[in-house]
Amino acid sequence: MSPSSLSAHFLSLPKAELHLHLEGSIEPATVCALAARHGQHLGEEEARRRYLYANFAEFIEAFKWVTSCLRDPEDYALITGELGERLLAQNVVYAEVTLSIGVMLLRQQKPQANFEAMCRASEGLRKQGLRLQWIFDAVRQFGAEAAMEVARIAPQYRHEGVVAFGIGGDELALPTAAFRAVYDYVAEQGLHRLIHAGETGGPQLVREAVEILGAERIGHGLGAMHDPALLEMLAERRIPLEICPTSNICTGALARQLTRDSARIAEHPLPDLLRQGLAVVLSTDDPAMFHTSLLAEYAHTAAMGLTEVERDRLAALSFEHAFLPAQEKRALASARQSAQL
């Protein structure tokens, strides 16, 4: 489904997005420009070929390749500005953007310098009506010690909009309990806690994320659909699942959960999860790398069978579950309600 299938009214409404990786928002043309900045010739056709994957492992390799083109603070400022402009074009007024601090450290960069450049780039976006907050992300397969290094940096930038710590990467690489001390530290520092779980893994990894790590939102969480008791717990505790349908198709995550060779967007469990009372927030994950946008994801909900009323409710949930003080959430919700009149 194309964004053109959405009503003019829906297109005009303020929107929020909560699961969005900065590095995954880099368009192929920008990758080429970044490469040229650093003395490397890269054709756009070649870059576009890199943006095709048959499974999750291939996507991870492509993500590593894309991030290799980010080498200095100016690069991060550039991609922050470009992402912000694309969000503004979709009437997104609030986004929580995940930043791969773990990858920066692996590449021996200075996360502080990169982040400060991004903050400067986001100042102009704020004036245009887009507020960005940040999630500092570690990489699961890099281990607990590397994750703790990211966790220790994150609290230093609370006043610059860092609201949470998360872990992405290969959720099957290491046991959840290995990161308990990291998440205990994050909680002590007053930051919110996130983790990717149940993307390619099963329901037990989602349960562990909540019970062992105290995760407040779950990245993807598809595996939860196999465990009715877990779904009930998530619904009761109002722990949102950050659902990214096109991502789940492109990485083969949904096919894996359905134990099939392939899957279609119409088979996504998002409608069932929403109708069972779960808090679900719709996101793009890595929009450029999955050839999607937030508007495209909302358009796909029609193919999944959501009604317009359900789509509006889905959009409202991203404001409800944002990591914002209650007063600020009410202000955003009020602005959205006014726009609906």
Could you list the active site residues? 199
> Is 290 within 8 Å of 250 (Cβ atoms)?
yes
Q: Which residues pair with 193 in a beta bridge?
A: 165
∠ CA(146), CA(147), CA(149), 5° rounding? 65
**What is the three-class DSSP state of 143?**
coil
CA distances from 126 to 9, 120, 157, 196 (A): 24, 10, 18, 28
Q: How many CB atoms are closer than 10 A to CB 331?
A: 13
Could you tell me how far CA 271 lies from the centroid of its own chain?
A: 19
> Is 99 within 8 Å of 145 (Cβ atoms)?
no
For the sheet with 280-282, list strands across it: 15-21, 92-99, 131-139, 162-168, 192-197, 217-220, 241-243, 280-282
Burial group, residue 184, by CB count within 10 angstroms (0-12, 13-18, 19+): middle
Residues 6+ apart with CB under 8 A from 286: 21, 23, 24, 25, 63, 247
Query: DSSP assignment of 9-72, as one string?
Result: HHHHS-EEEEEEESGGG--HHHHHHHHHHTT----HHHHHHHT--SSHHHHHHHHHHHHTT--S
Find, among 314, 230, 223, the residue nearest to 275 by Cα. 314
Residues 6+ apart with CB under 8 A from 157: 115, 134, 136
